[in-house]
Amino acid sequence: MGDAVRVQGLTKSYGELNAVGGIDFSVPPGRVFAFLGPNGAGKTTTVEILEGLRKRTKGEVEVLGLDPWTQGRALHHRIGVIPQEFRFFDKITPAESVQYYARLFEKPADVEALLARVELSDKANARFDTLSGGQKQKLGLALALVNDPEVCFLDEPTTGLDPHARRAIWEVIRMLKADHRTVFLTTHYLEEAQLLADQVAIIHQGRIIASGPPDAIIRQYGRRERLVVQGSSALAEKLRASLDLPVRAQDGRIEIAFREKADIFRVLDAIEKSGLPWSGFATQSDTLEDVFVSLVGKMDEGVLKPAGVA
Amino acid sequence: MNPKRISADFQVFAKNYVRNPVALFFSLIFPLILIGMFGFIFSGSSGPVTVYTENLDHNSNVSRAFLSALNTSNAVRISVVPPVTGGNGTAAFGSWLASNGDTVGLVIPDGFARAYQTGNSTTLTVYTDPQDASGSGIALGAVSGVANGFNLQAAHGRPIVTATTANVGSQVFKYIDYLVPGLIGFTILTSPMFAMVDISSSYRKDHIFRELSLTPLTKGEWLTAKILWYILLTIVTALLMLAVGTLAFGAHVGLTVEVLPFFILGPFFFVSLGMIAGSVAKTPESAAVIGNVVTFPMMFLSGTFFPVSGFPPFLQTIAHALPLYYVIDGMNQAILFHNYGATFVADLLVILALCIVAFVGAILLFKWRDE
Ligand SMILES: Nc1ncnc2c1ncn2[C@@H]1O[C@H](COP(=O)(O)OP(=O)(O)OP(=O)(O)O)[C@@H](O)[C@H]1O
Ligand SMILES: [Mg+2]
């Protein structure tokens, strides 16, 4: 089976502005793909091109083997979409909205089950203009699922949701994945991407600066695993002198990067021998968020150049 | 065009509409307020025009025959008042009419019968009131008409041209009679136009068009659902307005099935036109401006508040260029004149052609998604 989403040399310009500047990626079917990037990076532009809502300037785009712009009608039967900032008819309730979509798609819908799945049952009969921001988002997700889509495009589905509601959405994404659906997710919550995604791509100023499975990206761009203790700068000096490992100290917090497990015992030994007070011993590794912040920071400073990472 | 999807969209739109009290107020209550307001203002000039008559010809047979001929014209009702100041009352009668608030009067001079019998000339005086132009006109017309008949008879002439009473002539239309179809036309124009201009920009702003473009619903189906809704709304408001017009103000409007095509084609056209106006605009503000520019001339010049036949010729020419004119004229033919001849058919064909052009134009012009 071919890729669910295939993008090659995609470019989108708004007049002078190159919002997307020639990107390539593909998403195999049944995977969760997280598309990450700072504000204005070009995520929504890309997603909307994939959904057939925007016309691309250049490049090849295929979703389920169809061209989203020219074959949108066929495609829309097979995909589900939550736009960024979902809005709907003011006086229509979630139950009525789901029923409406079911009739448009000519699909039987279990309204109650679908609303329960996105944890919106208690507001099934409340009018849209009385829903909170998070509840509106949940309705958007419910509507995206009405047609039992093969690919779901979720543009910041959890933005503005409370931690509990966010977990409910994660659960829906996990269920979609278990059901072999493809999910294309954009989010500013990096822990969400790290938790859910099989693949991520980080886009910055319209170019992809890193892509691959989250672990691989962390390994490639992240710092080494570190030991952290609370202690004075005198302790840091002693450790620097006695160990051949990089030691950083700031605000009473000392970080020692280690190469192998055995290094941990040498560090503990050196701390003990120093005779100085210490506390709060722990190990720490980079998260996707650390990598993201550092990569985007380096890009902004011009240290790194965008590379077509596979 | 899939009827199931049209029906699904129709239902959601209708629910959203009726749950919005402001929209409902404007579409149902406002037309009734309009008809009530105009009905009260102009109900004074309703009915056959009462003509207060001073018969200074000593109740002669000829003068009585003249007055009863006037009465049978149906246009005026003669009310004979005793001579105010003895024999020569003309000036005094004028002030009497004014002080009584009675607008139109007639004086039959002394010697009227003799003049008729001997073939001498005599003059009838009709008092008219500039503030009641239509009543005065009707009275003057009726008096001249009967006088002409008497002249011919006196000269033993045979009339060459006679007026036989057809539908239009047999009934004297009051202002309220024109007002009912006029205000129905006003509603057919304003209610969908303003709504569609607003919808076209607010749906774009709220990304609702984009949301809908991701479903199997087509633009044609969506627009059809809006048209069906406004047809329903038009029929309901029109029936309410007809009821208020006839029951409260005694309008002579007869509901006939032939008016139905205009209750259908009218909203059909103005929903499409509203969508075109909203779509050619780049911003919500300019959409409102374009909507108003298109709507305002039609609001006043299509026979809404005044019958077009009473306009000066150049305004009539303009009126004939306005689509709403054909809707209102068609409704007049159907519910006032009951005349289904060439004019009726022409009105119908014009508005039908406009509907097709506007519907296709609207679908081509309005965009679901950014191109
Ligand atoms: N319709 C438009 N016309 C002109 N410029 C646009 C348009 N839409 C987006 N842009 C610009 O394109 C760039 C990318 O925007 P996009 O919405 O794709 O960003 P994003 O990655 O989704 O950001 P966010 O995280 O804030 O949602 C931005 O600089 C934005 O200002
Ligand atoms: Mg975005």
Cβ of B215 within 8 Å of Cβ of A101? The answer is yes
Q: Is residue B151 part of a domain?
A: yes
Whether residue A213 is contained in a domain is answered as yes
Q: Rounded CA gap, B36 and B201, in Å?
A: 33
| Residue A154 is assigned to a structural domain of this protein | yes
pLDDT tens, residue by residue, B321-368 = 999 999 999 999 999 888 898 999 999 999 999 999 999 999 999 888
Ligand 1: residue whose CA is nearest its atom 5: A14
Determine, for residues B216 and A104 on separate chains, whether the beta-carbon distance falls below 8 Å.
Answer: yes
Strands A151-155 and A17-27: unpaired
pLDDT over threshold 70, residue B86 = no
Taking CA atoms, what residue in B is nearest to A97? B12
Q: Which residues pair with A26 in a beta bridge?
A: A6
Q: How many angstroms separate the alpha carbon of residue A288 from the centre of ligand 1?
A: 23
Report the gap between the CA of A28 and the closest CA in chain B (Å): 23
Cα dihedral: B64, B67, B73, B77 (round 10) = -130
The pLDDT of residue A309 is: 43
Q: What are phi and psi of A229, to 5 degrees?
A: -130, 155
Query: In this structure, are A208 and A239 located in the same domain?
Result: no
Q: Do A100 and B8 touch (CB under 8 A)?
A: yes
For residues A178 and A229, state if they share a domain: no
Tell me which of A219, A249, A268 is where a domain ends.
Answer: A219
Verify that A156 and A240 share a domain, yes or no. Answer: no
Is A213 in the same domain as A230?
no
Distance A28 CA to ligand 1 centre (A): 26
Compute the radius of gyration of chain B from its Cα atoms: 27
Q: Go through chain A and tell me how many residues it has.
A: 310
Per the prediction, chain B carries an average pLDDT of 85
b/e string for B300-329 if b means 16 or more Cβ within 10 A? ebbbbbbbbeeeeeeeeeebeebbbbbbbb
Residue of A nearest to B5 (CA): A104
Would you say residue B159 lies in a domain? yes
Report CA torsion sign: A80, A82, A88, A92.
positive
Beta-carbon contacts of B303 under 8 Å, excluding residues fewer than 6 positions away, are B178, B181, B182, B185, B319, B324, B325, B328, B329, B332
CB B21 within 8 A of CB B14: no
By residue count, chain B amounts to: 371
User: What is the position in ligand 1's atom list of the atom closest to the CA of A47?
Assistant: 18
Q: Is residue B22 part of a domain?
A: yes
Q: Which of A73, A87, A91 sits opposite B20 (nearest CB)?
A: A91
Residues A182 and A240 in one domain: no
Burial B52-81 (b: 16+ CB within 10 A, else e): bbbbbbeebebbeebbebbbebebbebebe
Question: Does residue B189 share a domain with residue B133?
Answer: no
Domain end, chosen from A198, A219, A240, is at A219
- pTM, two decimals, is 0.78
Which DSSP string do the residues of A229-261 spell out, in sequence order? EEE-HHHHHHHHHH-SS-EEEETTEEEEE-SSH
A62 and A153 inside one domain? yes
Q: How far is the CA of A17 from the centre of ligand 1 (A)?
A: 10
**Residue with the larger pLDDT of the pair B222 and B110:** B222
Domain with A252, as residue range(s), is 223-284
Distance from CA of A180 to the nearest CA of B (A): 22
CATH number at residue B148: 3.40.1710
Q: Which of A240-244, A249-253, B83-87, B185-189 has the lowest mean pLDDT?
A: B83-87
pLDDT at residue B72, as a whole number: 76
Give the per-residue pLDDT at B166: 40
Q: Find, in chain B, the residue whose alpha carbon is nearest to that of A153.
A: B214
Q: Is residue B132 part of a domain?
A: yes
In a domain, A103, yes or no: no
Mutation site, B7, B9, B12, interface A, largest A CB count within 10 A: B12
| Helix (H) / strand (E) containing B263 | helix B260-280
- Whether pLDDT at B235 is above 90: yes
Q: Are the beta carbons of B50 and B104 closer than 8 angstroms?
A: yes
Residue with the two structure tokens 């995520």: A43
Question: A105 to chain B: nearest residue by CA?
Answer: B216
Last residue of some domain: B148, B171, B194? B171
Q: Are residues B314 and B255 in the same domain?
A: yes
Are both B166 and B178 inside the same structural domain? no
Q: Do B215 and A104 touch (CB under 8 A)?
A: yes
- Pair B205, B122 in one domain: no
Nearest to A256, CA basis, from A282, A224, A228: A228
Instruction: Answer yes or no: do A169 and A208 share one domain.
Output: yes
Q: Which of A187, A219, A251 represents a domain boundary (last residue)? A: A219
Chain B residues with CB under 8 Å of a chain A CB are 4-5, 7-9, 11-13, 15-16, 19-20, 206-208, 210-211, 213-217, 369-371
In a domain? residue A308: no
- Residue nearest to ligand 1 atom 4, measured at CA: A14
Q: What is the CATH number of the domain that holds A232?
A: 3.30.70.980
Q: Of A17, A36, A54, A82, which is best to mutate to test ligand 1, by the most ligand atoms within 8 angstroms of its C-beta?
A: A17
Distance A81 CA to ligand 1 centre (A): 18
Residue A64 backbone dihedrals phi, psi, to 5 degrees: 50, 35
- Determine, for residues B8 and A103 on separate chains, whether the beta-carbon distance falls below 8 Å: yes
Nearest to B261 by CA among B342, B352, B353, B354: B352
Please indicate, yes or no, if residue A138 is contained in any of the structural domains. Answer: no
Q: What is the pLDDT of residues B105-124, one digit of tens each?
A: 888 888 888 888 888 888 88
Minimal C-alpha gap between B299 and chain A (Å): 30
Q: Which residues of A touch B5 (CB under 8 A)?
A: 103-104
Would the CB atoms of B4 and A88 count as touching at under 8 Å?
no
For residue A41, the ligand 1 atom closest to its alpha carbon is 21
Upper half-sphere CA count for residue B83 (Cβ side, 13 Å): 15
As residues whose CB is below 5 A from the ion ligand 2, the structure lists: A 43-44, 84
pLDDT tens digits, one per residue of A79-98: 999 988 899 999 999 999 99
pLDDT at B38: 82
Asked if A55 and B370 come within 8 Å (Cβ–Cβ), the reply is: yes
Report which protein residue has its CA nearest ligand 1's atom 28.
A40
Does residue A124 carry a pLDDT above 50? yes
pLDDT over threshold 60, residue A307: no
The number of the ligand nearest the C-alpha atom of A40 reads 1
For tokens 């959890």, what's the residue? Answer: A158
φ, ψ for residue B239 (rounded to 5)?
-65, -40
Instruction: Give the number of the atom of ligand 1 that is nearest the alpha carbon of residue A188.
Output: 25
Residue B217 belongs to domain spanning:
3-42+174-365
- The structural domain count of chain B equals 2
Looking at the structure, tell me whether residues B209 and B326 fall in a common domain: yes
- Chain A residues close to B214, C-beta within 8 Å: 51-53, 76, 79, 81
Q: What type of residue sits at position B6?
A: I
Same-domain check for residues A210 and A157: yes
Is the pLDDT reported for residue B208 higher than 90?
yes
Quote the minimal CA–CA distance from B370 to chain A in Å: 6
Contact B207 A83 (CB under 8 A): yes
Query: CB neighbours (10 Å) of residue B289?
Result: 14
Residues B276 and B330 placed together within one structural domain of the fold: yes
Write out chain A residues lying below 8 Å of B211, CB-based: 83, 86-88
Pocket of ligand 1 (CB under 6 A): A 14, 17, 19, 37, 39-45, 84
Residues A154 and A201 in one domain: yes
Tell me whether residue B370 is in a domain.
no
pLDDT tens track for A213-250: 999 998 888 887 888 899 888 899 888 888 888 888 88
Using alpha carbons, list the distances in angstroms from residue B58 to A60, B82, B86, B94, B113.
Answer: 104, 11, 11, 20, 10
Q: Which of B111, B141, B171 is the last residue in one of the domains?
A: B171
On whether both B17 and B89 belong to a single domain, the answer is: no
| Contact list, A148 vs chain B (CB under 8 Å) | none
* Closest Cα in chain B, distance from residue A159 (Å): 18
Residue A294 belongs to a domain:
no
Residue B371 lies in a domain: no
Residue nearest to atom 24 of ligand 1 (CA): A39
Q: Are residues B326 and B208 in the same domain?
A: yes
Please tell me what DSSP assigns to residue B322.
Answer: S
Residues B301 and B317 sit within 8 Å (Cβ to Cβ): no
Query: Tell me: the pLDDT tens digits for B113-165?
Result: 888 888 888 888 888 877 777 777 778 888 888 888 788 777 776 665 554 44
Total number of domains constituting chain A: 2
Q: How confident is the model at residue B371 (pLDDT cuts 50, 70, 90)?
A: low
Clarify whether residues B118 and B85 are in a common domain: yes
Residue in chain A closest to B370 (alpha carbons) equals: A54
Residue with CA at minimum distance from ligand 1 atom 30? A40
pLDDT mean over A131-156: 93
CA A213 – CA A291 distance, rounded (Å): 13
Same domain, A60 and A159: yes
The answer to the question of residue A290 being in a domain is: no
- Predicted confidence at residue B44, as pLDDT, reads 54
Using CA coordinates, name the residue in chain A closest to B215. A76
Instruction: Clarify whether residues A59 and A22 are in a common domain.
Output: yes
Kindly report the protein residue whose alpha carbon is nearest to atom 11 of ligand 1.
A19
Give, in degrees to the nearest 5, the angle at Cα B67 between B63 and B70.
Answer: 145
Q: Are A229 and A63 in contact (CB under 8 A)?
A: no
pLDDT of B8 > 70? The answer is yes
The CATH number of the domain holding residue A212 is 3.40.50.300
Domain boundary among B171, B202, B219: B171
Q: Is there a single domain that holds both residue B341 and residue B193? A: yes
A155 CA distance to ligand 1 middle (Å): 13
Mark whether A213 and A231 lie in a shared domain.
no
Complex ipTM value: 0.84
Token output for A104: 């448009």
Task: For residue A288, count CB atoms less than 10 angstroms from its CB and return exposed for 0-12, middle for 13-18, buried for 19 or more.
Answer: buried
- Residue A230 in any domain: the answer is yes
Residues B155 and B206 in one domain: no
Tokens matching residue B326? 């054909």
pLDDT band for position A1 (50/70/90)? Answer: low
Are residues B264 and B160 part of one domain? no
Return the ligand number nearest the Cα of A37. 1
Nearest CA to ligand 1 atom 2: A14
Q: Which residue type occupies B167?
A: N
